[in-house]
Amino acid sequence: MRTVPGFDLFFIAIHALLIPLVGLVAWLVTGLPALFALALALLAAYLLLALRRPLRRRRAAGAPFPGEWREFLLSRSPFYRGLDESGRMRFERDVRLFQAETRIAGSGGAAVSWPTALLVAAGAATMLHGRPDWEPPLHDGVTVYPGFAFDRNYRPGRGSIAGQAPAGGPLLVAEKSLLEGFAGERDGINVMIHELAHYFDLEARKGGLRVAADQARPVPWGVAIEMAYERHDFAASPLPDYAALNEAEFFACASEMFFEDPIRLGASCPRLFALLEEFYAQDPRFIHLAGMH
Ligand SMILES: [Zn+2]
């Protein structure tokens, strides 16, 4: 994540130039200087509104990262633990930016505890670490349910759904399963990474991302992941059975293992690993190895 995405500033600058220009033309055509004054007033109002988001992001990026949060991440995230000092600072800034931009609430809009909000953001910061130009694909925020799971009717404490990624809705996650995913070990299970991967997948398809995979020419992301799914040997796979359900679950489960146990995934499925390495533009094996010392 960039503190202020360049794209945003580009549009603000274009608008900020156009508004007084239109006012000037109106003045010249009509002979009424009041029209130019009106344009200047409009410009001031526009800048007040348009700069709110970049200023909010700057404030968030510059806010100190509490030592308590750092300790918590060190004990919970092998990925964070393995980052060097500058990597950790960028991770922390991404956590702050994510939290400034993304609604994270309990069911019914209740507030969530700081460790929960921190782990939600840590999932996004982990996955975005190699893609500083990407923004989290969570337009509708995150809703946290109490307990380990909820059922089809979103009743907490029942059923077996630990998380869900509805298109056009908030990411849903059960709080205790979220914490369990960040228990600090390398078991390849992390519900936050799994559900976030679904949104990254959707965004990459919508945005027309192309990857080279091992083809001569880059192919659309949807094609690349479909080919990987079709050639995957599920009988010999370290991925859970659920990954065989369809290509979306395949990618989500593979992403969990990519970030949680990359050494195992890289050793058993090198082609799949290479595809994810290209997608996320990072190789978490080095980070995990550094964190083991
Ligand atoms: Zn899934």
Q: Which residues surround ligand 1, an ion (CB under 5 A)?
A: 249, 252
Rounded CA separation 221/205 (Å): 6
- pLDDT per residue, tens digit, the chain (293 aa), is 888 877 678 889 999 999 999 999 999 999 999 999 999 999 999 999 999 999 999 999 999 999 999 999 999 999 999 999 999 999 999 999 999 999 999 988 999 999 999 999 999 999 999 999 999 999 999 999 999 999 888 888 888 899 999 998 899 999 999 999 999 788 889 999 999 999 999 999 999 999 997 778 899 999 999 999 999 999 999 999 999 999 999 999 999 999 999 999 999 999 999 999 999 999 999 888 887 76
Q: Distance, CA 175 to ligand 1 centroid (Å)?
A: 17
Q: Distance, CA 121 to ligand 1 centroid (Å)?
A: 19
pTM: 0.91
Q: Distance, CA 256 to ligand 1 centroid (Å)?
A: 10
R_g of the chain, CA atoms, integer Å: 22
Q: Distance, CA 249 to ligand 1 centroid (Å)?
A: 5
Q: Distance, CA 244 to ligand 1 centroid (Å)?
A: 11
User: Rounded to the nearest 5 degrees, what angle is found at the Cα of 7, between the Cα atoms of 4 and 8?
Assistant: 60
Q: Distance, CA 41 to ligand 1 centroid (Å)?
A: 50
**Whole-number pLDDT of residue 153:** 87
Q: Distance, CA 132 to ligand 1 centroid (Å)?
A: 25
Q: Distance, CA 253 to ligand 1 centroid (Å)?
A: 7
CA distances from 115 to 104, 112, 246 (A): 12, 8, 33
**Whole-number pLDDT of residue 293:** 64
**Whole-number pLDDT of residue 226:** 96
Q: Distance, CA 245 to ligand 1 centroid (Å)?
A: 9
**Whole-number pLDDT of residue 158:** 87
